[in-house]
Amino acid sequence: MKPQSPTITLRPIGPLMAPPPLYFFLAFGIGVLIQVLWPAALSPVPEVLRVIGGFTIVVGVILALSLVSTFLIRRTTLNPFAQPSVFLAAGPYRLSRNPMYLSVIIVYLGGTLLFGSLWPLLTMVAPLLILARAVVPYEEAQMTATFGEAYTSYCQRVRRWI
């Protein structure tokens, strides 16, 4: 769907304008650094969990790449702080309003299993809070301002996460 009318541009401030996957990358890196300094492994990690972790990473990456290709094909922005030009409600968006963020979370959890590290699992709380308290509410307000009733109706039908 194309935007209904001229929209009000919302302006987030500060470091929250960074790409949300960066929050997860930094949190995982900090978790790995803490793991090196104060080891707290999920031990012993059975080989099957490492395999599941690797598989989970692959699934998350495939989901993310398919969503990126959808954004490019439909010619809308990947930047959550830019004006959306297309309302996506098909494919994974039928099941979740945030499948791109779910793909990042899936990759993160897979990495935690693959490496058997406890700290990255604990540091994941920070990017989850940023998403839930700042990024997603901002995006939803932007989508509502741009697409109006169509987006509001979609939100009533489709859960935010899964």
For 148-158, the pLDDT digits (tens) are: 999 999 999 99
In the prediction, which pLDDT does 16 show?
A: 67
What's the confidence (pLDDT) of residue 150?
95
**11 or 63: which carries more pLDDT confidence?**
63
161 vs 24, more confident: 24
> Contact 120/112 with Cβ under 8 angstroms?
yes
Q: How many CB atoms lie within 10 A of CB 157?
A: 9
Cα separation, 83 vs 12, whole angstroms: 12
pTM comes to 0.86
Place of tokens 């945030």: 98
Contact yes or no for 103/96 (Cβ under 8 A): no
Among 97, 91, 67, 100, which residue's Cα sits nearest to residue 161? 97
